[in-house]
Amino acid sequence: MKRILVTGASGFIGRNTLNLLVNKGYEVHAVSSRQFKSSNKNIYWHCIDLLDLLQIDALFRRVKPTYLLHLAWNITPEKYKKSNIHLKWVQVGIEILESFKKYNGKRAVFGGTCSEYDCKYGYLNEQLTPVKSNLLYGVCKASLHSIAESYCMKNDLSLAWARIFYVYGPHENPNRVIPYVINKLLKGEVAHCSHGRQIRDYLHVYDVASALVGLFESNVEGVVNIGSGNPIKLMDFFMEIGAKIGSQDLIHLEDIKTSPDEAHVILADINRLKNEIGWVPYYDMDKGLDETIEWWKKQIKY
């Protein structure tokens, strides 16, 4: 059986990859800082703190994975734009890669971010758009990518780097904008929003996971954008949520100021994802929002 280690396995995206990988015939070793149990005999949970670098070598020595999906990173909404913790996660990524090689790993997919790009270009292409983030988070992700790419070339490891765009769906952090709007409207409260004219690229979390697994299963290397390729104004996203809940009047645009250097358009060129990997999404926006709203309804304690 193919053995894969997944970091960030209890996270928003990671948890959605696990059953997909099992269905592809993998023995999945799932890493989380929280205790988890699974009824699936092909998913083995490992509770460790990846920021304790000494635990990383012990983990890889124990598991000896042939494959690696590294998604773990601290992106708490309230902190990730200003936190210096990203520097430590670069160290974690380097240590993970070295341990992966040490115990005979072969192919890895790392989770990157669209924040690595110079987002003023709007339509972001893997080969053409410069990498120049104005966030420490994006700088650290891009730096790890550069290090990992050089290391893998030197050590004969296969590496794909997934630049993930905007994600929504069940289990998202409630402080992020889409669940914030959903929960406010479900509770009959005002959702204070920005002007909403920003154009973004959103993809349902299950489709992000399926794209990652598809990338992993392919022999594609290098940077691959993970997004929908479909532009949507945030105000239109908010109003669609409002229409489904029946509370569009509770969406107050212009209440939140935006940063003057915020990019107007952030949109993925997904030609590599479609043409080289053959990925197609399962969800459209209508179906994805219906499922997401229903999930949040079940979380609210009245």
Residue range(s) in the chain whose domain bears CATH number 3.40.50.720 = 2-167+204-226
CATH number at 2-167+204-226: 3.40.50.720
Supply φ then ψ for residue 129, to 5 degrees.
Answer: -80, 130
Residue 232 tokens, joined: 């949507």
Closest CA to 28 of 47, 43, 8: 43
Return the CATH number of 170-200+230-299, one of 3.40.50.12500, 1.10.3210.10, 3.30.2320.20, 3.90.25.10.
Answer: 3.90.25.10
Question: 19 by DSSP, 3-state: which?
Answer: helix
Q: What pLDDT score does 78 carry?
A: 67
Residue range(s) in the chain whose domain bears CATH number 3.90.25.10 = 170-200+230-299
* 226 vs 124: CA distance, rounded Å: 11
Averages of pLDDT over runs of 10 residues in the chain (302 residues) are 94 96 96 82 93 96 98 82 90 98 98 97 97 95 98 98 98 96 97 97 98 97 98 98 97 94 96 98 97 95 60
Q: What pLDDT score does 302 carry?
A: 53
Radius of gyration of the chain measured on its C-alpha atoms: 19
Question: 66 by DSSP, 3-state: which?
Answer: coil
Percent of the chain with pLDDT over 70: 99
* 266 vs 118: CA distance, rounded Å: 10
* 149 vs 155: CA distance, rounded Å: 10
- Could you identify the residue written with the tokens 């769906």? 169
Which residues lie below 8 Å from residue 207, measured CB to CB, with a gap of 6+? 228, 281, 282, 283, 288
List, for residues 12-55, the tens digit of each pLDDT value. Answer: 999 999 999 999 999 999 999 987 777 788 899 999 999 999 99
Q: What pLDDT score does 301 carry?
A: 67
* 46 vs 198: CA distance, rounded Å: 40
List, for residues 126-157, the tens digit of each pLDDT value. Answer: 999 999 999 999 999 999 999 999 999 999 99
Q: What is the largest CA-CA distance in the chain?
A: 58
